[in-house]
Amino acid sequence: MRLKDKVALITGAGSGIGRESALLFAREGARIVVADINEAGGQETVARILEDGGDAAFVRADVSRAEDCQRMVAVAEERFGKLNVLFNNAGIMHAQDGDAESTSEEIWELTMRINLKGVFLGCKYGIPALRRAGGGSVINVASFVALLGAATPQIAYTASKGGVLSMSRELAVIHARENIRVNALCPGPLRTELLMKVLDTEEKRQRRLVHIPMGRFGEAREIAYAALFLASDESSFVTGATFTVDGGITAAYVTPE
């Protein structure tokens, strides 16, 4: 088991990448703290882990609130005795997030609170717990749009993920001598509820797909396997990395036929 005896805290684990990662990490031996603002989804993830013979606890957390982030880390240490893996996965992609002219300040601020501040707060309270455990792995979800512009305008989302990428690099340098690794996971377009709500017409989906050399959307479980590598000791010399899992979208120059 690749995560035997490890404790992992995963935000946004009530659905999508977070849920697939929680289920996978548990199968690989980790005890899981499932954190999500969606209580029903989070409890369902916990139930599935328990049914599969794993161990997990749910904590309701709005990652934009310091007290919630502090509490989810406390649950990990109080319930399981330590924290080894912090997976800052929670995020939003708002349907009204467009270009600079059309995006409201409210949508901008909401996106920044969850996508960027949420990662900052997770690290603020999670990194001391990793230090207490003797080190560990932080995985922050950025995006391929942190590396290039999106074909469909989403200015707040893109800016927030760029911030996550830059913050991850700095944290990696700051904490490298403490046996704390920090990496940014950059998924490409995925067939998740989050993206499909934005790409809500066939025309929008095809506009995105034409840029992906593999010609399809990724699946949440494919990102979960990438996160598993970063969470495990197999990536012990990997920190400050931009870990891109995108079907080749950031490598493409000429749009494929």
* Residue positions annotated with a catalytic role: 157
Measure the CA–CA gap between 129 and 180, rounded to whole angstroms. Answer: 11
Q: How distant is the alpha carbon of residue 84 from its chain centre?
A: 16
Inter-residue contact 18 to 12 (CB < 8 Å): yes
Contact 57, 79 (CB under 8 A): yes
